[in-house]
Amino acid sequence: MDLFATMLIAQYLLTALSSGFNAAYFWNYRSPRRGRRVGAMVLFGLSLALVVESLYFGAFALSRGLDWGPDFFLEPRRWLMARGLVCLGSLAISTLILRKMVSR
C-alpha cells in the first residue's frame, strides 16, 4: 500500500469520526427557536450522510486491496485531493462545536 492510499484510508476514517461527532451534537441540539432546531436537523442529516459515505467508500477501498484499476473512480492522489474539502468541512464544523462547548 503506497503513502497516498494510506492517507486516503486515514482521511475516510477522520471524516467518519468527525462527522459522527457532529451528528451526535446536532441530534442533541436544543433551542427555543424553531429555525435553529430545523438547521440543526439539516446539519444532523448531512453529518450522518458523511459518516455513511466515508465508511462505505473506506470499506470499499480496503476490500479491493486498494487496487486502483480503471474501474475504480480515480487514482489515490486525485481521489485524496477531491475528498480533502469534504474532510476539511467536517473538521471545521467539529472545531466550531468544540469551541462552543469549551466556552460554556
> Can you give the pLDDT at residue 51?
94
Domain boundaries, the chain: 3-103
Neighbours of 24 (CB within 10 A): 14
> Can you give the pLDDT at residue 91?
92
> Can you give the pLDDT at residue 71?
52
> Can you give the pLDDT at residue 62?
78
Ranges of the chain with pLDDT below 50: none
> Can you give the pLDDT at residue 75?
64
> Can you give the pLDDT at residue 57?
82
> Can you give the pLDDT at residue 67?
59
Yes or no: say if 93 and 47 are a contact pair by the CB < 8 Å rule: yes
